[in-house]
Structure 1
Amino acid sequence: MYNQAQRTLTTGRLILRPFKESDAQRVSELCNNYNIYKSTLTLPYPYSVDCALSWIQTQEVNFNNNKSYEFAITDKNTYELYGAIGLSNNQTHKNGELGYWIGEEYWGKGYATEATKAILEFAFTEKHYHKVYARFFASNPGSGRVMQKSGMVKEGVLLQHVYKENKFVDLIHYGIINT
């Protein structure tokens, strides 16, 4: 459920909320992890507090300008930060790309799937998207399972689409259309 005044999405276990500058230290701790870096398209490594602050400081303007929507994935009861989920906004085509990361200590608990379902509802109900898509490295099948569990379907493979760690890697493309 979306609360427009607070810019929050609430699920059974989670609150997705805007990031605050006070989150920068925890974001840095979670993201300064090689296993997260190797599974993401744009996350730098190492990941400093300054990287986190810089990223957080762009989010409100992007949200207000309907360029993108970034949310901290937090526990509904303890407010502990688990990760992030974001959605770009291509207004011309009424679509956007979904991206997320979860701190490694929280993997396998269903948080990414729960957050993804909430973001898809936000995209279709609040922002009136026609389509949401996402991509993941073939080496990260867990991300593909998140997309499948969220109702997304495989649309194809972008062969050797990204150069990462001195090699070309495939991206698997998933999408979902608002019906």
Structure 2
Amino acid sequence: MAGPTILSSPSPPSEEAGTILLETERLIIRRYFLSDAPAMAETGNDTLVTANLRAGFPSPYRLSDAEAFLSTACKPDGTAYPQHNGIFVKPLTADNPSPEPRFIGAVGIIPKGDVYFRTWELGYWLGSASWGKGYATEAIGPFVRWCFDTWPGLNRIEGEAYGSNEASQKVMKKCGFIEEGTRRGAAEKLGVLKDVVNFGLLRSDLEGVKELVRDS
């Protein structure tokens, strides 16, 4: 049986821990270090955050959970895909006067297999202290464009949000994603059935949101 089809890149990013994938005006998106665990645990241990995520993200989110996740996320898998990355506010700025980048959340992709190998699923979250500041749009817009630019064979990035998570839906729309439908009652979170709203972004869709994605 043939293995999964891996999309090639003419200039793949290094798989080394800490590799910076891209920067925006205020943010850095980079691969994780194992030492990111304390900041990840502190930011992710927030029921406002976990309420919008899948059950695979534990709540409470302890240091041991972050360490276990990073022990796998920091290992190269040979694809160079941007599956697990942190979002950081740049240091020595108005938003972060500290000399060190400040962790505020995560962004990554899940590659699809079989006949869907040209499709990736987007995932992201931000600590609630960073909500309402435009960080999500500033991170997601450039990140998805960078993915398309770096992997020419990638044709589609898709995402989803619970029907109750209107903020995440707005972020994807601002970044050019098209709302494609709702799976009614498709998920159960904390004993409550939830609708799931589906979004998709094709490479060809970016032409209409070129400036928005770059400048968000």
Task: Give the TM-score taking structure 2 as reference length.
Answer: 0.76
Q: Deviations over 1:48-70 (max 9, x none)?
A: 11110111121233653356521
1:28 is aligned to 2:41: yes
Between the two proteins, the alignment pairs up a number of residues equal to 178
Matched AA of 2:49: I
In structure 2, the partner of 1:89 is 111
In structure 2, the partner of 1:72 is 86
Secondary structure in 2 aligned to 1:45?
coil
Gaps of 5+ in 1: none
Matched AA of 2:151: K
- Which has more radius of gyration? 2
In structure 1, the partner of 2:161 is 136
d(CA) in 2 for partners of 1:62, 1:136: 28
Secondary structure in 2 aligned to 1:69?
coil
**RMSD of aligned C-alpha atoms?**
1.9
d(CA) in 2 for partners of 1:91, 1:124: 17
Gaps of 5+ in 2: 1-10, 93-100, 205-216
Residues 113-152 of structure 1 mapped to structure 2, 5 A cutoff: 113-128=137-152, 129-152=154-177
In structure 2, the partner of 1:4 is 13
Matched AA of 2:197: I
From the superposition, tell whether residues 27 and 121 of structure 1 become closer, same or farther in structure 2 (CA, over 3 Å).
same
In structure 1, the partner of 2:70 is 56
From the superposition, tell whether residues 117 and 63 of structure 1 become closer, same or farther in structure 2 (CA, over 3 Å).
farther
1:155 is aligned to 2:180: yes
Matched AA of 1:110: G
d(CA) in 1 for partners of 2:76, 2:107: 14
From the superposition, tell whether residues 62 and 141 of structure 1 become closer, same or farther in structure 2 (CA, over 3 Å).
farther
Pick which of 102-111 and 92-101 moved more.
92-101
Deviation at 1:151, TM superposition (A): 0.5
Aligned-pair identity (%): 28
Task: Give the TM-score taking structure 1 as reference length.
Answer: 0.91
From the superposition, tell whether residues 63 and 70 of structure 1 become closer, same or farther in structure 2 (CA, over 3 Å).
farther
Pick which of 3-12 and 53-62 moved more.
3-12
Secondary structure in 2 aligned to 1:105?
helix
The answer (yes or no) to whether the contact 2:34–2:74 under 8 Å persists in 1 is no
Deviation at 1:90, TM superposition (A): 2.1
The answer (yes or no) to whether the contact 2:12–2:150 under 8 Å persists in 1 is no
Q: Deviations over 1:70-121 (max 9, x none)?
A: 1110012351111000111225420111111101100011111111112211
